[in-house]
Structure 1
Amino acid sequence: MRWSFTLHGGAAAVLSAAALALAGLTWPGRGALPLFEPAWPMVVVIIPAFLLFLAALVRQFATGADRSAQWQAFRCLPGRVQVGLGLLAVTSVAVMVMGAVAGAGERLQDAEVREGRYVAYDTSVTADRAVELTRDEYLALLPSSRRMMFAVPGLLGAATAAIVLAAGELRRADDVSAVR
């Protein structure tokens, strides 16, 4: 496999692990970290995850292989790599499911700052769901709102790594067959 595929897949896997670590820091009992009030940590994780994913799709389509060949290429990766990527994907999905289940019982969700006011959405009412909060209520609700925003790039990064490493295996196989 060419080094660019390994670098691309490795960067996506590291970004996925970092996003999941940040999502893990948002669970109750961890304390309110000042890291989660500003939006820059989400931007630093989401934008590179999205760009890496787009680049992986371009690399995947450039191979011209069908899904079964891509799955076989993924199966040719070392077992530790497959397990690591699977663990990242399963952990991301578990964080999203647990966040959705825990959030289903909460009345207030999706805390944000709008025009200098702290606002959340009240799921118990049908009209005008926006509710103004105090700063303390906002800070208490913010980690659960950020958790999902970190778990999604975690899953996107794991998928990116799997796609690009499989594309690298396909490219390597094409290079070997071209030499023969």
Structure 2
Amino acid sequence: MGWSFKVHGGIALAMSFLFLGSAAIAWVPWVSVSTHMTWMLAVAFLLPVGLAALARVLLSRADKKTLWLAFRCLPGRLRVVLGVLALAGVLLTVVGASQENSLQTDGVEDGRYYVYDTTPFQRGRAEVSSSAYADVLRREQRGLLPVFGAAAAVVAYMVFTAGEVRQADARSKQTHVARTRGRPAPGGPSEQMPK
């Protein structure tokens, strides 16, 4: 696998660890939410990496079966890491989504914290304390960041399998060239010799 595939897949893996780690930290009640990783920030980083991975898979022109076979050719530890990250992302997403929360963060203005209430018949913006705002932000992170963690693991899977397909194609071409060079060319000296 080429170095660009390794770097690209490594970036996607690091993003998956970052998102899932941030989501796990959001479950710890005594840890303050210092990094405001919103969905816009996550998409800003994940979108270009994911689109590049999709382009690499499309350029490899491999079908689903070939991609699965290429995934099985990856080192065992890497396959385990990719599987664990994807599974952890799905599980954390399900657990985070199971929390009922009708409040969404709406921003901080002049030192005042605002949330938006989506409860039927009570919709509207309300000012809350900083601790209540941090609690709402933590709940948002619990539900949203695991989705991006799982998506980043899928992106890493796409990159590494596309790299494996590309490497297999390169090996196939080298083998084909070696075989054709070993055979005499049609009309060559071996065919011109009298029998």
Normalised by the size of structure 2, how large is the TM-score? 0.79
Farther off after superposition, 164-173 or 147-156 = 147-156
Q: Which has the higher contact order (CA 8 A, sep 6+)?
A: 1
Cα distance in 2 for residues equivalent to 1:59 and 1:163: 8
- Give the conservation status (yes or no) of the 8 Å contact 1:23–1:147: yes
Task: Name 1:92's counterpart in structure 2.
Answer: 89
Q: Give the alignment partner of residue 60 of structure 1, picking from 44, 57, 76.
A: 57
Cα distance in 2 for residues equivalent to 1:49 and 1:164: 13
The question of 1:31 aligning with 2:31 is answered yes
Farther off after superposition, 133-142 or 68-77 = 133-142
Cα distance in 2 for residues equivalent to 1:121 and 1:49: 29
Offset at 1:19? 1.0
Cα distance in 1 for residues equivalent to 2:39 and 2:141: 8
- The one-letter amino acid of 1:170's match is V
Offset at 1:150? 1.8
Task: Name 1:121's counterpart in structure 2.
Answer: 117
Q: Percent identity?
A: 33
Cα distance in 2 for residues equivalent to 1:12 and 1:174: 24
Offset at 1:144? 0.7
Cα distance in 2 for residues equivalent to 1:55 and 1:30: 38
Q: Which runs of 4+ in 1 moved over 4 A?
A: 41-44, 114-117
- The one-letter amino acid of 1:21's match is G
Which stretches in structure 1 are left out of the alignment for 5+ residues?
none
Task: Name 1:179's counterpart in structure 2.
Answer: 174
What do residues 32-57 of structure 1 show as CA deviations (whole Å, max 9, x unaligned)? Answer: 23323xx5x65554322111110000
Offset at 1:131? 4.1
What do residues 72-108 of structure 1 show as CA deviations (whole Å, max 9, x unaligned)? Answer: 1111111111110011101111111110112x2x4x3
SS in 2 for 1:34: coil
Farther off after superposition, 69-78 or 25-34 = 25-34
Cα distance in 2 for residues equivalent to 1:131 and 1:25: 27
Q: Radius of gyration: which is bigger? A: 2
Task: Name 2:124's counterpart in structure 1.
Answer: 130
- Give the conservation status (yes or no) of the 8 Å contact 2:26–2:142: yes
The question of 1:112 aligning with 2:106 is answered yes
RMSD across aligned C-alpha pairs, in angstroms?
Answer: 2.1
Which stretches in structure 2 are left out of the alignment for 5+ residues?
176-195
